A and B are shown apart, each in its own frame.
Chain A
Amino acid sequence: MSELTLTVMRLGFLAVLWLFVIVAVQVIRSDLFGTRVTQRGSRREAARPQQPGRQQARQQQAAPPQQRGQQGGGGRRGRNAPSKLVVTEGTLTGTTVALQGQTITLGRAHDSTIVLDDDYASSRHARIYPDRDGQWIVEDLGSTNGTYLDRSRLTTPTPIPLGAPIRIGKTAIELRK
Chain B
Amino acid sequence: MSSTTNSPTHHTSTIGAIGAPSRRNTELALLVFAVAIPVFAYANVGLAISDEVPAGLLSYGLGLALLAGVAHLAVRKFAPYADPLLLPLATLLNGLGLVVIWRLDQSKLLQSLRGFSPAAPRQLLYTALAIAVFAVVLIFLKDHRVLQRYTYISMFGALVLLILPLVPGLGANIYGAKIWIRIPGLGSLQPGEFAKIVLAVFFAGYLMVKRDALALASRRFMGLYLPRGRDLGPILVVWAISILILVFETDLGTSLLFFGMFVIMLYVATERTSWIVFGLLMSAVGAVGVASFEPHIQTRVQAWLNPMREYELSRQITHDGILHSDQLQQSLWAFGSGGTLGTGWGQGHSDLIKFAANSDFVLATFGEELGLAGVMAILLIYGLIVERGVRTALAARDPFGKLLAVGLSGAFALQVFVVAGGVMGLIPLTGMTMPFLASGGSSVLANWALIAILIRISDTARRPAPTPAANPDAEMTQVVRPS
- Known contacts A13-B44, A27-B85, A156-B471; is A73 also within 8 Å of B11 by CB? yes
B292 interface residue, CB < 8 Å from A?
no
Chain B nearest CB from A85 CB (Å) reads: 16
Interface membership of chain B positions 451-480, coded 1 if the CB is closer than 8 angstroms to chain A and 0 otherwise: 000000000000011111001011001111
Residue numbers in A under 8 Å from B12 (CB-CB): 39-41, 74
Residue numbers in B under 8 Å from A20 (CB-CB): 30, 33-34, 37, 92, 377, 381
Chain A nearest CB from B107 CB (Å) reads: 18
- Known contacts A27-B30, A35-B16, A74-B6; is A60 also within 8 Å of B480 by CB? yes
Q: Given A13, A27, A36, A54, which contacts B41 in the complex, CB threshold below 8 Å?
A: A13
Chain A nearest CB from B36 CB (Å) reads: 8
Which interface class (under 10, 10 to 19, 20 to 34, 35 or more) fits B?
35 or more
A74–B11 touching, CB < 8 Å: yes
Chain A nearest CB from B424 CB (Å) reads: 19
Report Cα–Cα, A37/B3, bound state, in Å.
Answer: 14
A156–B477 touching, CB < 8 Å: yes
A76–B341 touching, CB < 8 Å: no
B387 nearest in chain A by CB position? A28
Chain B nearest CB from A157 CB (Å) reads: 6
A164 interface residue, CB < 8 Å from B?
no
Report Cα–Cα, A40/B483, bound state, in Å.
Answer: 14
A80 interface residue, CB < 8 Å from B?
no
Residue numbers in A under 8 Å from B1 (CB-CB): 40-42
A-B interface, 5 closest residue pairs, ranked by CB to CB distance from nearest: A10-B344, A72-B11, A62-B465, A74-B10, A41-B1
Interface membership of chain A positions 54-81, coded 1 if the CB is closer than 8 angstroms to chain B and 0 otherwise: 1111111111100110111110110000
A5–B47 touching, CB < 8 Å: yes
Chain B nearest CB from A9 CB (Å) reads: 5
A16 nearest in chain B by CB position? B37
B5 interface residue, CB < 8 Å from A?
yes
* 16 A–B contacts, CB within 8 A, in A order: A10-B344, A14-B342, A17-B37, A18-B377, A20-B37, A20-B92, A28-B387, A52-B18, A56-B18, A57-B482, A64-B465, A71-B16, A72-B11, A156-B473, A157-B477, A158-B479
Of listed B18, B26, B84, B342, residue having the most chain A CB within 10 A: B18
Chain A nearest CB from B328 CB (Å) reads: 26
Chain A nearest CB from B405 CB (Å) reads: 16
Q: Given B18, B20, B41, B480, which contacts A61 in the complex, CB threshold below 8 Å?
A: B480
Interface membership of chain A positions 87-113, coded 1 if the CB is closer than 8 angstroms to chain B and 0 otherwise: 000000000000011000000000000
Report Cα–Cα, A43/B2, bound state, in Å.
Answer: 11
B483–A158 touching, CB < 8 Å: no
Stretch at the interface among A120-128, A129-137, A140-148, A168-176: A129-137
B397 interface residue, CB < 8 Å from A?
yes
A24–B30 touching, CB < 8 Å: yes
B462 nearest in chain A by CB position? A33
Q: Given B15, B19, B465, which contacts A71 in the complex, CB threshold below 8 Å?
A: B15
B483–A53 touching, CB < 8 Å: yes
- Known contacts A24-B85, A35-B18, A37-B14; is A10 also within 8 Å of B341 by CB? yes
B89 interface residue, CB < 8 Å from A?
yes
B92 nearest in chain A by CB position? A20
B480–A157 touching, CB < 8 Å: yes
Report Cα–Cα, A74/B5, bound state, in Å.
Answer: 11
A14–B373 touching, CB < 8 Å: yes
A67 nearest in chain B by CB position? B17
B468–A62 touching, CB < 8 Å: yes
Residue numbers in B under 8 Å from A162 (CB-CB): none
B14–A40 touching, CB < 8 Å: yes
A63–B17 touching, CB < 8 Å: yes
B17–A14 touching, CB < 8 Å: no
A34 interface residue, CB < 8 Å from B?
yes
Report Cα–Cα, A157/B33, bound state, in Å.
Answer: 48
Residue numbers in A under 8 Å from B84 (CB-CB): 27, 31
Report Cα–Cα, A57/B3, bound state, in Å.
Answer: 20
A59–B47 touching, CB < 8 Å: no
B228 interface residue, CB < 8 Å from A?
no
Chain B nearest CB from A24 CB (Å) reads: 6
Report Cα–Cα, A70/B15, bound state, in Å.
Answer: 8
Residue numbers in B under 8 Å from A23 (CB-CB): 30, 33
A21–B380 touching, CB < 8 Å: yes
B277 interface residue, CB < 8 Å from A?
no
Interface membership of chain B positions 375-408, coded 1 if the CB is closer than 8 angstroms to chain A and 0 otherwise: 0010011001001100000000100000000000
Chain A nearest CB from B273 CB (Å) reads: 23
